[in-house]
Structure 1
Amino acid sequence: MSSPPSAPRRARELGIVVGDVATGRYNALTDVPGVRVGHTTLVRPPRVHSGVTAIVPEGVGPGSALPAGVFAGNGYGKLLGTTQIAELGALETPVLLTSTLSAFRVADALVGWILERPEGAGARSVNPVVGECNDGLLSDIRSRPVREEHVRAALESASDGPVAEGCVGAGTGMTALGFKAGIGTSSRRVRLAAREVTLGVLVQANFGGTLRVLGRTVTPADVGVPTADPGPQAGSCMVVVATDAPLDARQLTRLARRAVFGLARVGAAYGHGSGDYGLAFGTRPLGTPAGPAVVCDDLLDPLFVAVLDAVEEAVLNSLLTATTTTGPGGDTRYPLPAEPLLALLG
């Protein structure tokens, strides 16, 4: 069964600081103005540990698309809507994350939600964007427990405040790097072309490899966590990046690529069966006549550093804020324990 939360602490609260760039107020994706996050968590132990997470940019819709880019580090996954993003560089719906076999129901529910809203008035085509990771180890994935009402609840409850992490929403049944994982988030404030901009990251961590914390290898045995057969180096990670920096779709694709690169810092294996995706969007609508000009490519390095750091910290947060979970087959995964980790790091 799932253990109750025990006031888990985020990496930065423990003194584990990635990089030297300042974070936003919440150190979360929602530090980017106009971006909200909501979760619906489904827990019926030991059979169901699943859910859906909604990332909702303000005003996004078929008639008010945002610039976006996508990158597949390893494409063993079902990130719905990617071909249109790659072709047009445009995001026209919220981004939803869920369990693999629930992705298609979630996409249908998202389309229905969009068509009912002012942003979807008159729309005859909608490109829903839904990412997924496989929670079949810790949840009855074949039951496809995520329903339309759960999707709508996540969308309607999305807020611009602190973001819940660990075993919530789409992260409820996730495992990564030998530990229980889930949702993690982080942000950075960057000086870019004489203005301050914000970049935020949210990860749905469910991938194989051997954990590294600030460059040091950390196995479950190193921190007193019971080990289990990790199976093949399979799994996935969805990384969603948002920024208010004035970037075009091509530049956002470059940012998405580096978001996937950032997983290597924490030990991602990028195995054959892993779906490692980065999706980056800007909050300035396409075709807006006013506003700052697109940043020159040779000024992007601070954003590249920021996304690498934020991804690393977001994954660590997903491991530290998770809770012990046992699935329907008796498999148990344990979170990364703070005190033994700090002792190991010295």
Structure 2
Amino acid sequence: MLSENYHDDQWKLLKQIKSTSYQKETIRTRILDSIQNSTSNTSSKSYFLWKSMLATCLLFVIFGGFLLLTLSESGQRNSSKETLSEEIQFSWDLKDVYNKESHNGLSLYREDNPMQVGTVQQVTNEEMNNIIKSIPMYTNEKLEHFPYQISMYIEHVKTMDVAIRYHFFISLSDQNTIHFTFDYPKLEYAEIFTAISTLKFNGKDPYRYNQQLYVTHGYGNLLFPVGLEPISISPGKEVYHWEGATFESFNAYLGKLEEDQGNWKKEATSKESDTFVSRDGNEVVTITRDEKTITYEFFYPNRGNQ
């Protein structure tokens, strides 16, 4: 009983203890400081968060603008649409070649190479005849079944960087003749004929032949399909991508070579390849098709004896 009264008295005394004004003020100040510090930290974190997000967005904008500019420049250079004059515009499927205006027309350049690979200019009939007469031309041929009436000449240049130069004259009207030149080997034969075979002039619809076109390369007499894309070209071996290659089109091509009995004779055939020998026996070529890849391997059996 005594113990219980003692504890009750102690509890009453404890409840009578109250904070002084100084203690209350101290507690209030600590609480305010704690709230302010918490707000300051939160505000600082939010500031840095927004700053980080803003910097990220700015980087995206800068990178996006740079990418758009790069693609735009690339698209302009790789575009197949060319302008010779206000009246004459044309397009073709010649890849990785762009043009620059020159004093007499357009100069053609390959991507990432400062050396000129060709020209385009408008000439009169008199100028065309003067060009033909003043330059040693070794080939004069009318290209059949091409988009326009095209006269082809081959100039024997044989300088350090140009072996031959192709000249193509296309008469659009009595007043308009377009003169194209292409330098080999700055451009491969296949690229040159791809350009000419896919020409399209604005306002003058091209003729489209519904069968495969074939041409010879340079001074040779072996027929090649038009539309080949060079993969690798080296002495004795040429590899091309032929988008139009199918079992039927490849057999039709081989049949075309067999028909050319004045120049070539089939010597051997297998599941993978076919071999042809020139009529004079000085050249042997093996042609292999692997899906859309066409490989030519050349051998000259009498070259060492000459």
- Normalising by the smaller structure, the TM-score range is under 0.3
- Kindly indicate whether structure 1 or structure 2 has the higher relative contact order, using CA contacts under 8 Å at least 6 residues apart: 1
Q: Which has the higher strand share?
A: 2
More helix by share: 2
Whichever of the two has the greater Rg, that structure is 2
TM-score by length of 2: 0.21
